[in-house]
Amino acid sequence: MDWVTALPPGGDKSYNVCLVSVDRYRKTPMFLPCHKDDTAMDTVIMTWNKVIRNTGIFQNIISDRDPKFTSALWTNLHNLFGTKLSFSPAYHPQTDSLAERMIQTLEDMIRIFCAYGVEFKDSDGFTHDWCTLIPSLELAYKTSIHSSTGKAPAMLEKGWNPRLPYDTLKKDLVDIHPIASSFKSMLDKARHHANRCM
């Protein structure tokens, strides 16, 4: 687990950082918009509600020494569940190289779309900020072939790849709403950029 920081305010709650959690074996990421000033309690609740409910209790968590991850609450809670906490030294962040690579990938994907502006309009006029893109970027990454496994993370996680809008898209529609067309374009771009980053 690690953070993508220095993001412009995004979403309806003006999030400014993104917690990145990566399953080491399946390479499955979760991108969680949050606030730089969130407390350890906020991080515990978010992790419980958005990560653990999907993955179950962790056997091991590798993270940096962020005060949220070294807090008494975080360490006691994970001791209670039998989760081993491993911290990368400040001078050697490569210890958590999978999260570091995922953070670089997410930053690249966000930069390609947003150029770290507060929001952008794609060529179809649909306005996005980085928070609105996170679910599409995560899905694009999960359904792209990973170089180290030769499989998509979603396939390793579920045993099947989710049906994507692109897979079922009706190409012969003449009268399509501009926002629907823009949404399709955004998903296509997200998948293309996820493939480039992997």
CB atoms within 10 A of CB 156: 16
Spatial strand order of the sheet with 29-34 comes to: 2-4, 17-22, 29-34
pLDDT digit string (tens) for 111-149?
776 654 445 555 655 556 788 888 888 888 888 888 888
Determine if the pTM surpasses 0.85: no
CB 162 within 8 A of CB 139: yes
Q: What residues are paired with 15 via a beta bridge?
A: 10
| Residue-level pLDDT at 163 | 84
- Which residue range is the domain that position 118 belongs to? 2-197
- pLDDT of 44 higher than 90: yes
Query: Could you tell me the CATH number of the domain that includes residue 138?
Result: 3.30.420.10
Segment (H or E) for 102 = helix 97-114
Both tokens assigned to 97:
């190289």
**25: confidence class by pLDDT, cuts 50, 70, 90:** confident
Phi first, then psi: give them for residue 29, nearest 5 degrees: -95, 160
The pLDDT assigned to 118 comes to: 45
**pLDDT per position as a tens digit, 81-93:** 999 999 887 655 5
Please count the structural domains in the chain.
1
Q: How many residues does the chain have?
A: 198
More confident residue, 155 or 91: 155
Burial profile 45-57: b = 16 or more Cβ within 10 angstroms, e = fewer: eebeebbeeeeee
pLDDT tens-place string over residues 47-69: 999 999 888 898 999 888 899 99
